[in-house]
Amino acid sequence: MRIAILTDIHANREAFEAVIADATARNATQFAILGDIVGYGGDPAWCVERTMALAAAGGVVVRGNHDQAVYDPSISLNETARAAIQWTAQQLSPEHVEYLAALPLTVREGDRLYVHSSAAAPGRFNYLLDTEDASGHFAACDARLGFCGHVHRPRLYSMGAGKVCSFAPTGETPIPLLAQRRWVAVVGSVGQPRDGDPAAGYAIYDTQTCELCFHKAAYDIEAASTRIRAAGLPDSLAQRLLTGK
């Protein structure tokens, strides 16, 4: 099975469509969406609908902090993100909101754990930014493989003999997730990358070869930016799509 792992779509229809097409062309057979379907971007309803369709086809979906913020005002957001969520809530149907509210914080499938932020207190939505955070994740679960988002930049951590190592993946070279080690991958972002590359980011995990490959998919960034501006959302949200920062 080849699992396309997507996260932080952030209502970016153009990026979401491009990644689905790219992953399908790379023979992905299942989709896992690690939260933050909405927020920041200009087409939240479409992105929720598409996510629901992928879930109905056997996909995995977990809840992110922006998804929860649609119905839970206690979620901490900065001023720009709060403005986007207030607009987003007005674009979603009651069915969409109910769907987001019903999403789990984590999903376990075999040796794989899917979570938006970290296995360590997933409802707090803490960032997994360094080896100390990765150690907390490993301590909080027994899954050999973890996949998460929230950071918007790809990173891979592994643990063996009690030591945690970290590296930033480059290119699109398959990385063997060796059985004698534990791993947690921060997948990047489909809809608002912050790694300096504005192309949409995601990963594919092959359960037969136990290899993980990080990918980038080009998409119509100008159209996504225009959609944000047309919605009256903060211009900074449109601008950062152009730079990937």
What are the structural domains, with CATH classification, of the chain?
2-243 (3.60.21.10)
**Per-residue tens of pLDDT for the chain, all 245 residues:** 999 999 999 999 999 999 999 999 999 999 999 999 999 999 999 999 999 999 999 999 999 999 999 999 999 999 999 999 999 999 999 999 999 999 999 999 999 999 999 999 999 999 999 999 999 999 999 999 999 999 999 999 999 998 999 999 988 899 999 999 999 999 999 999 999 999 999 999 999 999 999 999 999 999 999 999 999 999 999 999 999 99
User: What pTM was estimated for this model as a whole?
Assistant: 0.96
Beta bridge partners of 113: 108, 146
184 Rama class: left (phi>0) / alpha (psi -120 to 50) / beta: beta
Q: Which of 196, 156, 195, 151 is nearest to 175 (CA)?
A: 156
Q: Are strands 106-109 and 163-167 parallel, antiparallel or unpaired?
A: unpaired
Residue 73: both structure tokens together: 């005002």
